[in-house]
Amino acid sequence: MSVLRILLISLMLWPLCGPAMARALTEDGSVTLSGFGTLGLLHNSTDEAEFIRDIGQPKGADEGWSARTDSLLGLQMGARLNDELDVVVQGISRYHDTGNFRPELSWAFLRYTPSPAVVLRAGRLGWDVYQLSDSRYVGYAYPWVRPPVDQFGSLQLSHIDGADVTFKHPIGSDMIRLKLYAGRSDSTIFLTDDLEADFDVDKVYGGHLDYETGPWRFRLGYTEVDADIHYAGAPADLIRQYLRIDPDPFFNDMLGIDNLKLYSLGLTYDSGPYQWQAMVNRSHTVGDSDVDSGFVSFGYRVGQWLPFAMFSIVDTSTPGGEDQNAFGQRTYSLGARYDVTPGIALKAQVDRIHVDQPGFLWRNQDQDWGDSWATMFSLGLDFVF
């Protein structure tokens, strides 16, 4: 599905956008249809590298305007079987690792709710590894044009096939939630322009603890990923041809990404005109390399407007110091969201990015690019129905 087709479908769905965000397909309301989408335009100021939203995108936005990076369309159907069981299926069309907008199945699970305190799900689930990560494709759910790339751009998976369980327990007027999950997954990420890694995740498990008090929500999370990784591209072909060895162990020894431990801490505040988000995370590899990332965002509502400011950062540390696989950058963002009607929001955002050392968050980098600034200007139309 091309960006043009997403635009045409979005225009057809426009009349559905409004206060009633889920449409009943049956008289008793047991089957519902809902959806979400983003029409995004991005202007890249530099001709030295292409900007991407996440490491699953094989190409980025080069100098000038592009609608490919952020545009997407999602549809979701729910069916209530009885008071305790329901089914949810969701599909998304976005630019991803196939190099096109081919729709993909993002959710498909059976949910069992034996009591208000316990929820069990089984099937294909969103990868809820960080606060806000499960809704990172629903642009209407957050103030920015896209979640900060320094924080969310290096996520390796979009879903898991498995199960999770959530326990809820009130403490006075507060609420504590514990979610545990386990399963498997697969994905393709791009480490360089000519080296891709196919993740065959044998095991992913973890959980997080949420605490809600008034307008505050805190989260502490941990996830571990074990994967068989197969590398493809020119560097892998050269190793296979000239060294006559399997390139997979070679790159795994060098990168150590076949085993990942993800630690996260996040908080959000939403009350009256004020909206805060802040997170810090660490991805630790079996090779003792760490990718540290974080961001802080502040917004202030004025009527239908929500102007915001954000700072985000990502940095790599290795046991031997800097090497060719390290990267780091800082992003300063200013923008505003305007809620046209319930279900429709317009956004504008400027990102000023200082690239200390480029890495796999960019495509087609010039060899001498680094310690440089780049400016991104983004426009977005987000909707839900």
8 Å CB contact between 38 and 72: yes
8 Å CB contact between 88 and 57: no
Q: Which pLDDT score is estimated for 15?
A: 54
Residue 14: its H or E element: none
Note down pLDDT in tens along the chain; length 385 residues. 555 555 555 555 555 555 545 677 777 778 999 999 999 999 999 999 999 999 999 999 999 999 999 999 999 999 999 999 999 999 999 999 999 999 999 999 999 999 999 999 999 999 999 988 888 999 999 999 999 999 999 888 999 999 999 999 999 999 999 999 999 999 999 988 889 999 899 999 999 999 999 999 999 999 999 999 999 998 888 888 887 888 888 888 777 788 899 999 999 999 999 999 999 999 988 766 789 999 999 999 999 999 999 999 999 876 655 554 568 899 999 999 999 999 999 999 999 999 988 788 999 988 888 889 999 999 999 999 8
**Three-state secondary structure call for residue 381:** strand
**Three-state secondary structure call for residue 357:** strand
The single residue listed with the structure tokens 């009943």 is 24
At a CB cut-off of 8 Å and minimum separation 6, what does 129 contact? 155, 157, 206, 221, 223, 262, 264
- Please, what is the Cα angle at 293 between 290 and 296, to 5 degrees? 160
Q: H helices of the chain, where?
A: 3-13, 149-152, 234-238, 247-255
Q: Which pLDDT score is estimated for 178?
A: 98
- Please, what is the Cα angle at 30 between 25 and 34, to 5 degrees? 50
Q: Which pLDDT score is estimated for 16?
A: 53
Q: Which pLDDT score is estimated for 317?
A: 77
As a whole number of angstroms, the distance between CA 87 and CA 121 comes to 9
Domain range summary for the chain, segments of one domain joined by +: 3-240+339-351+362-384
DSSP type of residue 240 = I
As a whole number of angstroms, the distance between CA 94 and CA 64 comes to 20
Q: Which pLDDT score is estimated for 257?
A: 83
**Six token digits for residue 161:** 């096939």
Torsion of CA 132, 195, 369, 352, to 10 degrees: -10
Residues pairing with 205 in the sheet: 182, 224
As a whole number of angstroms, the distance between CA 18 and CA 385 comes to 6
The maximal CA–CA distance of the chain, rounded, in angstroms, is: 67
Task: Report residue 93 CA to chain centroid gap.
Answer: 14
The pTM is what? 0.90
Amino acid at 288: D
**Three-state secondary structure call for residue 84:** coil
As a whole number of angstroms, the distance between CA 163 and CA 39 comes to 32
The single residue listed with the structure tokens 């990502």 is 314
Torsion of CA 178, 180, 185, 187, to 10 degrees: 30
Taking CB atoms within 8 Å and a gap of at least 24, the contacts of 295-302 are 295/148, 295/150, 295/151, 297/143, 297/144, 297/148, 298/274, 299/143, 299/274, 299/275, 299/337, 300/273, 300/274, 300/275, 301/272, 301/273, 301/274, 301/275, 302/273
Amino acid at 111: R
Residues pairing with 232 in the sheet: 196
Amino acid at 182: A
Q: Which pLDDT score is estimated for 321?
A: 54
Q: Which of 265, 274, 263 is nearest to 214 (CA)?
A: 274
